[in-house]
A and B are shown apart, each in its own frame.
Chain A
Amino acid sequence: MVRVSLKESDSFEEFRDIARGLIAAEIAPDDVVLEAGGEAGLFGGVPPLPRDTPAFSVASGFIEVARDTICHRDPERFAMLYSLLWRLTHGEKSLLMVASDPLVHRLHQMQKAVRRDTHKMTAFVRFRQIADDSGERYVAWFEPEHHILRRVSKFFVDRFAAMRWSILTPEGSLHWDTQRLVHGPAIDKSHAPSGDDFEDWWRSYYRSTFNPARANPRMQRAEMPKKYWHNLPEAKTIPDLLANARQRTGRMIEAEPMAPRRAHGWTPENVAQPEASSLDALKAAAQSCTRCPLHKNATQTVFGEGPSDAPVVFVGEQPGDLEDLAGQPFVGPAGQMFDRALAEAGIDRSRVFVTNAVKHFKFEPRGKRRVHQKPNIGEIDKCRWWVESELSLIKPQFVVALGATAARSLTGRSVTIARERGRLTNWSGRAGLITVHPSFLLRLPDKAAQANEYRRFVEDLRIVGRELPAIRKVA
């Protein structure tokens, strides 16, 4: 029987060196006793085996399990880890995957306990401020369940790097002076400060943020077990808060409503109302449109944009995802393609007015995305009022319908785009033209077909340019 006493209770490196020696010497787990120095109990320390033994590889995952479980309070942890290592290197390479193995299961539980304890320590340490010759200093007393002091230190250094602080525990202490971290010996609780002026404020906050109508002490204890309470300044208020919760809630439910307090109400700042008959007034009025149900899910009415005396108005289908968020028409992918085609057709974008047949985005929510849906005839016809109002204020010489929805809106009938596109026509006394919607081009899967259709689209736009020399770009 070999007996090995480890100097440290939480050092993976020390354990690793010793375990390498034991494996190299082919010493089976049953033939060795491993324990941390301070926890040695009946056995005396035996000098460790020579350390310059070769490294070997071990199943991935072992090191993580070892680093975590070495911090566990269980005195058997080194023996368990050595057993695991032995089996991993003696024919059970995939042992860590066998969650039902009693040893693996136990080590995983220990790993979880250590991680939880570490996390709870970052949460429940409460510093108390004291003053010494060099200024303010923060000191906490804490009783972790496992040997986690070393592993938790990084959190406090990262967070409170500019403060001088100490954390005292029954097993050791941490001291940070804004530059260096020192691991010191255990310091008795009586040396920790006994209070802090801000604890009273903290308790005030704790009491006020508690909602008595939701009292749920079981849930509280699950997340903040009682073993931590004696070091939490706020915990002493818990019994009173719970004792009064039912009464306070009852009083709120039964109280007769008081007379409402009279106070000045909300008066929106006086926004200059745009002239009643202007495009701006129409746009403002359209913001609160509820003529069809599409307003319920969309963000906003997306009104047309462009000069109020534009010689030509382009009418699209409806705003898309980006247009709905931004509140502007033709800013999404189809809008960008439209801009490109206009430029290629030699038309000055700043001289045209763009709008949509339907002013709200119609879509189906799918998880984090919105899937475009075609507006139906009812929605198109309801929204036509706005399109007509836009046109009658702008009085363009020419109107272009982009796609079937716009064609329906402008002609009042169902139009087959393929049959009627690219021809000069006239509807209700307005000169116009029907062509495809740029989003149709984006949907074509075949690159060659897309290029071909794009050329035809630009051709259609050139017709518009020829009809209206005023919108042609000056070369």
Chain B
Amino acid sequence: MLNTQQKLEILADAAKYDASCSSSGAEKRTSKTGGLGSTTGCGICHSYTPDGRCISLLKILLTNACMFDCSYCINRRSSNVRRARFTVNEVVSLTLNFYKRNYIEGLFLSSGIVGSPNYTIEQILRVARTLREEHGFRGYIHLKTIPEADPDLVAEAGRLADRVSINIELPTEEGFTRFAPEKQAPSIRRTMASLRLRIDEAKAEKKAPRFAPAGQSTQMIVGADGAADAVILGTSATLYANYNLKRIYYSAFSPIPDASSTLPAQAPPLAREHRLYQADWLFRFYGFETEEITSGLPTACLISTSIPSLPGLCGIAIAFPST
């Protein structure tokens, strides 16, 4: 039998490949009228691990058992990784105890798929409901939604959480077929579409029930399949336009214990990940089109030489009067 601390080690390790950590964008709340916790709107990074990434939320899985067999994932069905499963109360107690000591801004809860999509999301919702309703928790909650889950359950996730997300992981449909044969790209997109409609509706009408005020986000893995940067950025542009995502996280594919033999065993392409974030930034905040960023790239990649410059962006720099 695993004790709770051992479970914490396994289920934090299982969740760390999700790059999302943001605790921003929630409406401002305080605990002055009761309950525990607050949100300031811009989020706080409470610590930094030696990889330079921040710890803002307690990022864990409810269980790392999973019925899917996605090659890139440490928790895939055929992996020999040790399995664990938290009870609802274990997660609730961990969250509250960490929060009261000012270690975290809140909880980011995800899970392997067990039983069925509805069953899985119901377990996630039980944690969020207990925190919000029994303990008056007013800190940040980010919930992963599960595609194919019942719309009523997804609606409840949006009511309880500040942010919801669903990871697309692979930038192309060919990637899905090869590396995540049981996942359906269309059903992920449908889920994102229904989240968008609900978020828009809640924003448009004051009286509408609350729905994920910090919006939705997603993640794409970089360097697991063969997708070039231009392809990745094209998928990003479509996803931003289609679903009004708050942001897309790019996660350099990282070696994992007991990796699948179908994937590259190599150091994570961190420089490439960094360039993608820069390109994404140009796209979101400076209004560049993806073609402007990627045209002129000899190999459709942002890094083609050892010189860390963006060939495509050099073209832009020339086009703009910079002096």
The residue from A162, A241, A296, A369 contacting B31, defined by CB atoms under 8 A apart: A162
Q: Would B5 and A163 count as touching, CB distance under 8 A?
A: no
Tell me, yes or no, whether B321 is within 8 Å of chain A by CB. Answer: no
With A and B bound together, what is the CA distance between A365 and B233 in angstroms? 12
A220 in contact with B48 (CB, 8 Å): yes
List A contacts of B190 (CB < 8 A): 299-300, 327
Question: How many angstroms from the CA of A467 to the CA of B53 in the assembled complex?
Answer: 69
Report how far A238 CA is from B58 CA in the complex, Å.
19
Contact across chains for B53 and A214 when beta carbons are under 8 A apart: yes
Whether the pair B77, A265 counts as a contact (CB closer than 8 A) is yes
Q: Are the CB atoms of B50 and A210 closer together than 8 Å? A: yes
CA A155 to CA B8, docked complex, whole Å: 29
Question: Does A123 lie at the interface of the complex (its beta carbon under 8 Å from any beta carbon of B)?
Answer: yes
Min C-beta distance of A74 to chain B, whole Å: 26
**B309 within 8 Å of A by Cβ?**
no
Residue of B nearest to A238 (CB): B50
Cβ of B182 and Cβ of A265 under 8 Å apart? yes
Which residues of B have CB within 8 Å of A366?
Answer: 241, 289
Q: Is the CB of A367 within 8 A of B265?
A: no
Residues of B within 8 A of A300 (CB): 186, 189-190, 193
**In the bound complex, how far is the Cα of B257 from the Cα of A131, in angstroms?**
42
B175 at the interface (CB under 8 A from A): no
Distance in Å: Cβ of A143 to nearest Cβ of chain B: 15
Is the pair A370, B173 in contact by a Cβ cutoff of 8 Å? no
A213-B8 CB under 8 A given contacts A128-B101, A138-B100, A365-B237: no
Instruction: Annotate A423-437 by CB proximity to B: 1 below 8 A, 0 otherwise.
Output: 000000000000000
**Which residues B22-70 have CB closer than 8 A to chain A?**
30-32, 34-38, 40, 44-55, 58-59, 67-69
Contact among A155, A211, A266, A365 for B254, CB-based, below 8 A: A211
In the bound complex, residues from chain B placing their C-beta under 8 Å from that of A223 are 45, 48, 52, 54
Bound together, the chains give a CA A162 to CA B32 distance in angstroms of: 8
Tell me if A261 and B79 are in contact (CB < 8 A): yes
Q: Whole-angstrom distance from the CB of A12 to the nearest CB of chain B? A: 22
Complex alpha-carbon distance, A217 and B50, angstroms: 5
Nearest chain B residue, comparing its CB with the CB of A158: B30
A220-B51, A249-B267 known; A122 vs B240 contact (CB < 8 Å):
no
Q: State in angstroms the CA–CA spacing of A288 and B244 once bound together.
A: 24
Interface check A60, CB cutoff 8 A: no
In the bound complex, do residue A220 and residue B186 qualify as a contact, i.e. CB atoms below 8 Å apart?
A: no
B101 and A213 contact, CB distance less than 8 A: no
Q: Contact check, A252 vs B45: say whether CB atoms are below 8 A apart.
A: no
A217 touches B52 (CB 8 A): yes
Cβ of B51: which chain A residues have Cβ within 8 Å of it? 210-212, 214-216, 219-220
- Whether B50 lies near A208 (C-beta < 8 A) is no
Cβ-based interface call for B13 (8 A):
yes
- A148→B6 CA distance, assembly (Å): 39
CA A265 to CA B181, docked complex, whole Å: 11
- At the interface, yes or no: A201 with Cβ under 8 Å from chain B? yes
Q: Which residues of B contact A262 (CB under 8 A)?
A: 78
Contact A201 B31 (CB under 8 A): no
Residue B149 CB within 8 A of the other chain? no
- Which residue of the partner chain, among B49, B173, B197, B259, contacts A257 with CB atoms under 8 Å? B259
Tell whether B266 is near chain A: CB-to-CB under 8 Å: yes
A369 to B287, CA, bound (A): 12
Chain A, residue nearest B81 (CB)? A261
B259 pairs with A252, CB closer than 8 A? yes
Which residue from chain A places its CB closest to the CB of B7 in the assembled complex? A204
Select the residue from A204, A213, A369 with max chain B CB neighbours within 10 A. A213
- The bracket for how many chain A residues form the interface is 35 or more
**Closest residue of A by beta carbon distance from B288:** A367
B297 proximal to A (CB < 8 A)? no
B260 CB within 8 Å of chain A: yes
The distance from the CB of A279 to the nearest CB of chain B, in whole angstroms, is: 20
Given the known A-B contacts A201-B8, A368-B241, are A138 and B44 also in contact in the complex, defined by CB atoms under 8 Å? no
Q: Is B296 among interface residues, defined by CB-CB distance under 8 A?
A: no
- What residues on A are CB-neighbors of B255 within 8 Å? 213, 249, 252-253
A159 to B140, CA, bound (A): 12
CA distance A216 to B273 in the complex (A): 14
8 Å CB contact of A367 from B32, B78, B241: B241
CA of A366 to CA of B9 in the docked complex: distance in angstroms?
A: 43
Bound: A299/B185 CA distance, A: 9
Say if the beta carbon of B103 comes within 8 Å of chain A: yes
The yes or no answer to B268 lying at the interface (CB within 8 A) is: yes
Contacts of A254 in B (CB 8 A): 265
Of the candidates B36, B80, B113, the one whose C-beta lies within 8 Å of that of A258 is B80
Closest beta carbon of chain B to A137's beta carbon, Å = 11
Return chain B residues, CB-CB under 8 Å to A276. Answer: none
A262, B52: Cα distance in complex, Å = 36
Name the distance in Å between A227's Cβ and chain B's nearest Cβ: 14
Interface presence of B2 (CB below 8 A): no
Contacts of B68 in A (CB 8 A): 266
Q: Contact flags (1/0) for A309-337 with B, using CB distance below 8 Å?
A: 00000000000000011110000000000
B224 shortest CB reach to chain A, Å: 14
Please pick, from B15, B173, B257, the residue contacting A252 in the complex, using a CB distance under 8 A: B257
Q: Do residues B244 and A241 form an inter-chain contact, with CB atoms below 8 A?
A: no
Given contacts A201-B8, A205-B12, A266-B113, 12 further A-B contacts (CB under 8 A): A123-B47, A158-B30, A160-B100, A161-B32, A204-B12, A206-B55, A209-B59, A219-B51, A224-B47, A238-B50, A252-B259, A299-B186
Supply 29 A–B pairs (Cβ within 8 Å), ascending by A.
A138-B101, A158-B32, A159-B38, A162-B36, A196-B101, A200-B5, A201-B8, A204-B8, A204-B9, A205-B58, A208-B10, A208-B13, A214-B53, A216-B50, A216-B52, A219-B48, A220-B51, A249-B267, A252-B257, A255-B265, A257-B260, A257-B261, A261-B78, A261-B79, A266-B182, A287-B186, A288-B186, A366-B241, A367-B287
Interface residues of A (CB under 8 A from B): 119, 122-129, 138, 140, 155, 157-163, 196, 198, 200-202, 204-220, 222-224, 232, 234, 238, 241-242, 245, 249, 252-255, 257-258, 260-266, 269, 287-288, 295-297, 299-300, 324-327, 363, 365-370
